Structure 1
């Protein structure tokens, strides 16, 4: 591309020089020739005038006096009636430029100049024009090289950026080149890089969240299948199979929830549900794991509450908190339900060392973990809670108290009266 730009620019300059240079040479040649002819004619007129003035005054006319008074530098022939011709200077040989003038008394002056002087003047002019043209060509080449570099280097840079995007490196370069068209391409590439980076981040986040969130349901399902494989009691098999089917439904809900959040983390399908059922189900699901670890999981607090949210998402949030207590906490884990204002609150606490002071404000950030874990569980739990219009907070660091706040379904007084048993009098 650089060569094409240089060649095209140079071709344009050469054409311009050829057109205007030839025209200038023709014009200058004619101008020099005309000027030489006018100079010869003017000198002839001047000689005739000098001769006339001397003849009128009765003064002598000779070559020395004429040469002194006229300052002639060319060959001149003065003819006076009744006198011998007078010559000034050397008569040129070859082609000459001749000029003549006649006086009132019959005198005549003829001035000649060799045409070679005009040719030398034309040659000097051509030399100057050629030098200017050469300088113009050199300047054009330098300008073409600079312009080619200015255009080709950004294009090479943009090609490298596109190649980096194709190879999986979506970092925007934020380079601009001062050329509107190229800057527009750079803007589009940077926007594409940022969009690809967001897509890759979302995909990695989805993969990490799926790996973390599916681990618990799959483990529970595996435990149920092991129970089925080790027992011959049809009643136990039926019971465990029913629980396994429940686990499969939960697993399906988890997958659907992850896919929904990956597209739009704010798209929740909140409904009114029985909070006690979700808490009870989580305690039953995690009790075997706590029993194996020699620990206990209990619940307390207000019962009969109905919250607004997505049951599957609330179950995942509680599962993340319970698992966090199992991995990082100690002693008995307690789930306590309470009411504050128009919100239902589920608190999860244990008797462990709690959250380190330096992690308290960042505990819900991704990759933040007090031990060798992924640091994803609490971040995902907070995202799920916020998607349902709730929130997840760390109320106390030592001992740790995590609280899930959900909107509470408040029944009207008419509904309460309809559900109250009749008063016996």
Structure 2
């Protein structure tokens, strides 16, 4: 910003200085021309004064030689007898004079004096130097006057960076009233966002704790079912639900989530698919899982990535018919780990809206895709909603590999849904 302002000041000061230098230089040239013409007239008048006293050629020749115009060969005296003293003609400025013997003599300047002289060049050079110095002083003064503005803009930019990283958004700047008002608005917006986030955490905590009572009753009922694969599957589902509620409650505490961590995407997907594959088999749903042989580390805790996998698969089981096919794949390439969940259902009618929490439509809150998008962006990646080869939706989650130092996706967006294949 400071460099931009400096260039602007430099161009403005240079333009103003050029106008002043050119104008002052033109005045100097005009003044020099008038001064040279005045000197020529004075030389002609001095020779005319000698002719009024005497027409002796030697005396007139001495008078002509003593003038600057005569020395430069531009002045000539025409005597009454037709003799010419000096060099040149009387075609230019002519001064007529009456001689002592009653005759008429003429003194003429054949060419004007040169305007560009050593003195004029020196004056123009001094004027140019003054213009350059004045331009530099104007730029330095302008930079000094913009220091508060640049400092205020830098403070606002730093605050915006902290907000993007989830930090404090409070800022106070000393600068122009407009920037101070902008800082106040940013602080107010940050405070409001913090209050809304706290309210959201409080609401989730309340809902999660309210789930405790029916969840306990459901666990007791599941224990009363006795043995058998169906009873075991119900007890496993109740246990997984209880763990999910525990993770939601724990995630509300900033200290618990600040530690971060890494996990292996293939291992997390394999662990979660042990549960979801059994659920798919119970529905008669074809289910394929493709996992790579090598490590696939991402900078996310295993619980957080497991919640992402559960959210995506829960969407598939909730919004597609029971016997719709399901494919889950993990691919690592060029510093990115891609998690793909594809189904054979009807697809997503409005993917842009589906990725906005609370406005998904189709009987969904959009919470599952919002959780997945947030996790992907936390690693510098993106989420893409596409049509898959099975005919339904394909959710492609692009996660930045651990220790790859990916920049945040810009813009943080998604690929829009393409038209249904014929």
Q: What is the TM-score when the length of structure 1 is the normalising length?
A: 0.41
Bigger radius of gyration among the two: 1
Q: What is the TM-score when the length of structure 2 is the normalising length?
A: 0.41
Bigger relative contact order (CA 8 A; separation at least 6): 1
Structure with greater proportional helix content: 1
